[in-house]
Structure 1
Amino acid sequence: MNNIKSRLKLAVLSTALVSLAASIGVFSLANANEPTAPQKIDINAGEALYSNGDASRGIVACVGCHGPNGNSASGTWPKLAGQHAGYITTQLKHFKAGERANPVMMGMAAALQDADMANIAAYLNKQVQAPGTAKNKESIELGKSIYRGGIASKNVPACAACHGPAGAGIPVQYPRIGGQWPEYTETQLISLRAGERKNLQMNMIAAKLSDRELKAVADYIAGLH
């Protein structure tokens, strides 16, 4: 009789344990399938990092090169005001991973966490870009022709097809380029043409541009707004 009672107790206990395990498993599976909550963006934190950095974490302020509110003082550094947040975040990740080679920016991005990048990008996206101007009257028509219509004889597509008629770009896919310093745009096109900056689509396009064409379109882009 005692043996029967003991077996019954073991059976009941085993059933309870199996039920408990099953319920835990279902609970864990349900949690695993729950969508990840979207990252909360803190524009104020982004502004603080952009303007002041964070010495305790080795983060250097961006304002020294890219200027107040993302409007740099010269074409050595790009204007970042009004740039798509997703594009800025992606480029910072590429710098940090070494996928985009730039000794200065690789060092700057090294200390940034994903949340820092997203916050800085969100802050810059809300800033107003200082307008630029095309300076070379002799090349303005050539630049305009390339930007709007491409170069059919070289199979160069119109820049406007991806970056928009005013150079505003398309969030996530293509950056804003209108109003950018012509010197910066020219430098990037040269880098893309040489394959030093990796972007398959732009590598193929820039490779077909002559120095004259490259300069003309960079100058024309500066005046877009």
Structure 2
Amino acid sequence: MKALIGALAGLCLFLAPTVHAQGDAAAGEQKSATCAACHGADGNSAVAMWPKIAGQHEAYLNRHITLIRDGQRPVPEMMGIVANLTDEDIADLSAYFAGQTISPGAADEALVARGERLYRAGDAKEGIPACMACHGPAGEGNPLAGYPWVAGQHATYTASMLNKYRAGDNWGEDDAASAVMVGVARRLTDEDINAVSSYLQGLYRAQ
């Protein structure tokens, strides 16, 4: 178990992100009206099942919008919307939303202790590494390795993603980042997922 945890933590440091062109945030704002319908004008969605994308790493947004457009990450609600976006459009939208500020959330006090323990220390007995090994002590992620910020994200959305990883969902060719998450999530119980998702919702990342 310790060897697995060490290997996963090591991957967090050495994963190489896909390189994308820098976008024009001003142009992205002009193109963002359709995105705003679900994600909010500033990237802070009002509906918990839709992710906040405000302040997300630009390269991460670019990669995942591209994966959805190219059919490598199936998100039915988005596939038609992004199907006709050019690489330039995606770069511009990513730059715009990356420059916004995520709104703070609140954690369920009854779940904070368990969620914080899993996030900061993991569970060696169950072979679960600390989430912060990849996502950082403040939930800021690791843009160089392609790991997203997770602080302040809707708990409902985070839980849905962890459940998908636990079921084996993966995307992108040779995407080591999502493969790591599949390996971690398979060791999480429903209670673990609910606790860490709630904890992250209340872990506001100052920008």
Same fold (TM over 0.5): yes
Mapped partners of 1:150, 1:181: distance in 2? 21
CA distance in 1 between counterparts of 2:124 and 2:118 reads 9
2:71 is the alignment partner of 1:98? yes
CA apart distance, 1:197: 4.0
State the shift of 1:196 in Å: 2.8
User: How far did 1:40 drift?
Assistant: 5.8
Instruction: Tell me the residue number matched to 1:152.
Output: 124
Alpha-carbon separation, structure 1, partners of 2:67 and 2:22: 22
CA offset at residue 119 of structure 1? 0.5
Inter-partner Cα distance in structure 1 for 2:21 and 2:131: 33
Residue 111 of structure 2 aligns with an amino acid whose one-letter code is S
1:114 aligns with 2:87: yes
> Which amino acid in 1 is paired with 2:194?
K
TM-superposed CA distance for 1:72, in Å, is 0.4
Contact in 2 for aligned 1:69/1:127 (Cα 8 Å): yes
Gaps of 5+ in 1: 1-37, 52-60
* One-letter amino acid of the structure 2 residue matched with residue 181 of structure 1: H
Picking from 37, 41, 61, the partner of 1:88 is: 61
- Runs of 4+ with >3 A deviation: none
Aligned to 2:142: 170
Rounded to whole Å, the distance in 1 between the matches of 2:69 and 2:47 is 24
TM-score, normalised with respect to structure 2 = 0.83
Within 2, Cα distance between the matches of 1:40 and 1:154?
41
Q: Residue 190 of structure 2: which of 211, 215, 218 is its match? A: 211
Partner of 1:221: 200
Aligned to 1:130: 103
- Root-mean-square deviation over aligned CA pairs: 1.3
More helix by proportion, 1 or 2? Answer: 1
Greater RCO (CA < 8 Å, at least 6 residues apart): 2
Structure 2: segments with no counterpart, 5+ residues:
1-19, 172-177
| C-alpha contact (below 8 Å) 1:167/1:177 kept by paired residues | yes
Q: Give the AA of the match of 1:130.
A: S
What TM-score do the two structures reach when normalised by structure 1?
0.76
Paired with 2:191 and 2:154, the residues of 1 have a C-alpha distance of 17
Tell me which structure has the larger Cα radius of gyration. Answer: 1
**Structure 1: distance between partners of 2:116 and 2:21:** 40
Give per-residue Cα distances to partners, 1:91-145, cap 9 Å, x unaligned: 011101111111111212211111111100000111011111102x222111000
SS in 1 for 2:32: helix
Work out the percentage of aligned pairs sharing the same amino acid: 41
